[in-house]
Structure 1
Amino acid sequence: MNDEKMISIYPNTLGFGYVVLNDKGEILDYGMVSIRPVSNNKCLDRIHEIVLYYQPKILILEDYKKSNKSERIRKLIKNICDYGQDSIRLFKYSREQIRNTFEVFGARNKYEVSKRISEAYPQLKSKLPDKRKAWEPENYYQGIFDAMALVLTHHYLND
């Protein structure tokens, strides 16, 4: 793959989670970027900084057209798609594609998906969210695992 870096970005209500990997599938960087007050322009500025620093050749996002996310997050995903279309190959995957990919490995919910990811990438174990109750808010670090789930779905569907 010629040292093709890839970045997966997963916008959420807090800002966005991201993961940057090299062509061998090794994590180069990951994190949650919290933007307060939440602003798509501020999110795009931070994404632009990360993309300029790592210069990935592949961008992976959730398919906003098939998403049940808020209008703000769908617009942000669309803006990220528009931002990268000239210089970065773009791949989008739906929640259904992610779910179907991880069901093959016995993971049926976000917690099980996150657990499988932390087993494959031990450096993420310290960020693994506890299993949450239906009434509890999503863990701050869940966006990292959602971004990584997009990466693994990409590899599963394209290898």
Structure 2
Amino acid sequence: MGKNTRCLIKARDLIKRFQPDHVVMEDPNGAKARRGVRVCVLLARLDAEAVRHGVPVAKISRAQVYRQFSMFGVGSKDDIAAAVAAMLPQLAARLPKRRRIWESEHSAIGVFEAAALAITFYALDAGARRSKSDHSV
């Protein structure tokens, strides 16, 4: 069984178990996206799986995440991870040390990327709600 199949089975189980309001994922076609073919295929299949279960999918680009976190002076994934840890102290203990250019990315950075996507989603959603209420006055 391949990686994508294992991920899809796990995602299907999580969707059934937690019945989320939304599935938030990185937009593989968005600005600053650097995903390989396998991951792009996986994201498309995850999107279809969520829709099949009636769960709306929100795609957030890396550029949107960087814009959202720009108020914290971020310039890298490490900076975003530190900002997420400051917002969510429960994750602070998992914050990896800053990566040196010759080191590979720490496995825990994915947790911070996922949290940054969620934070960006909620910030954009709140901004859209504010904008709608401003126009309805």
TM-score by length of 1: 0.73
Give the aligned partner of residue 77 of structure 1. Answer: 43
Give the aligned partner of residue 5 of structure 2. Answer: 41
Higher relative contact order at CA 8 Å, sep ≥6: structure 1 or structure 2? 1
Q: Amino acid of the residue matched to residue 51 of structure 1?
A: I
Contact 2:15/2:50 (<8 A) preserved: no
Identity over aligned residues, as a percent? 27
Alignment of 1:109-124 (within 5 A): 109-124=76-91
1:148 corresponds to 2:115: yes
From 100, 106, 130, the equivalent of 1:139 is: 106
1:63 corresponds to 2:27: yes
Larger strand percent: 1
Larger helix percent: 2
Contact 1:98/1:153 (<8 A) preserved: yes
Q: Give runs of ≥4 in structure 1 deviating > 4 Å.
A: none
Q: What SS does the aligned partner of 2:103 have?
A: coil
TM-score by length of 2: 0.84
Which stretches in structure 1 are left out of the alignment for 5+ residues?
1-36
Q: Amino acid of the residue matched to residue 36 of structure 2?
A: S
From 45, 49, 71, the equivalent of 1:104 is: 71
CA distance in 2, matches of 1:38, 1:96: 30
- Residue 40 of structure 1, CA deviation: 0.2
The alignment yields a C-alpha RMSD, in angstroms, of 1.4
1:77–1:127 CA distance, 2 compared to 1 (3 A): same
Q: Amino acid of the residue matched to residue 81 of structure 2?
A: S
Which stretches in structure 2 are left out of the alignment for 5+ residues?
127-137
Q: Amino acid of the residue matched to residue 157 of structure 1?
A: L
